[in-house]
Amino acid sequence: MDTKNSRSEFGSKEQEVKLQDDSLIIHEEEIEKIDRALIKLIKGAEAKCALLVDKDGYLITRQGFTHSLDTTALAALLAGSFASTREIARLVGEPEFSVLFHQGKRDHIHISLVGERSILVAIFDDRTTIGMVRLYAKECGEELATILGQAHKSKKKSEPAIDSGFAASAEDRLNDIFRD
């Protein structure tokens, strides 16, 4: 029997590799670059804060006045909002709505797609205008897309982050924390 064929039947290694490539791994130098771009956006557009969120709902990084915000929940909800918008786009026959804008009484939110899998979020108030935010967000988005694209390319070389003891020590912690 040819093992090559049996392989594809039982454990599709290609798919596993593909899934592995999908996982989001971010290094310090990239974060530094991203932060710089976000600060530029905040200063240029006079926004309150800017967040970079993964489409899966993880917060990648944030800048500006975010102390009063629950950024974890915000990231998850924004990603959800964006996901549902994309689904709406699909239903109306549009490939993707790349920009979303929520207008409030005081604060407004500008959400734009960055590259393939990240979302750039800018929160701002009436000190600035939507036009300014839009302009700088577009500029920033392009910059971030190149940074993330490079990160994605260089990621394959990176060494594994989690070693064999990780799951075990995590289990100990879990047992400590979650006791009925």
Calpha distance 46→128 (Å, rounded):
6
Closer to another protein at the Cβ: 61 or 128? 61
Q: What is the Cα–Cα distance from 116 to 139, expressed in whole angstroms? A: 16
- Give 82-143 as a DSSP string: HHHHHHHHHHTT-S---EEEE--SS-EEEEEEETTTEEEEEEE-TTS-HHHHHHHHHHHHHH
Sign of CA dihedral 147, 119, 58, 56: negative
H/E run at residue 60: strand 59-64
93 binds another protein (CB under 8 A): no
The answer to whether residue 83 forms part of the interface with another protein (CB under 8 A) is yes
Size of the site for another protein (CB under 8 A): 60
28 near another protein, judged by CB under 8 A = yes
Could you give the dihedral angle defined by the CA atoms of residues 160, 163, 169 and 174, in that order, rounded to the nearest 10 degrees? Answer: 40
115 binds another protein (CB under 8 A): no
Q: Least distance from C-beta 46 to another protein, angstroms?
A: 26
Q: Does 24 bind another protein (CB under 8 A)?
A: yes
**What is the smallest separation between the CB atom of 72 and another protein, expressed in angstroms?**
5
CB of 27 to another protein, least distance (A): 5
Choices 39-47, 66-74, 106-114, 141-149 (CB under 8 A): range interacting with another protein: 66-74
23 is an interface residue for another protein by CB under 8 A:
yes
- Which residue's CB is nearer to another protein, number 84 or number 129? 84
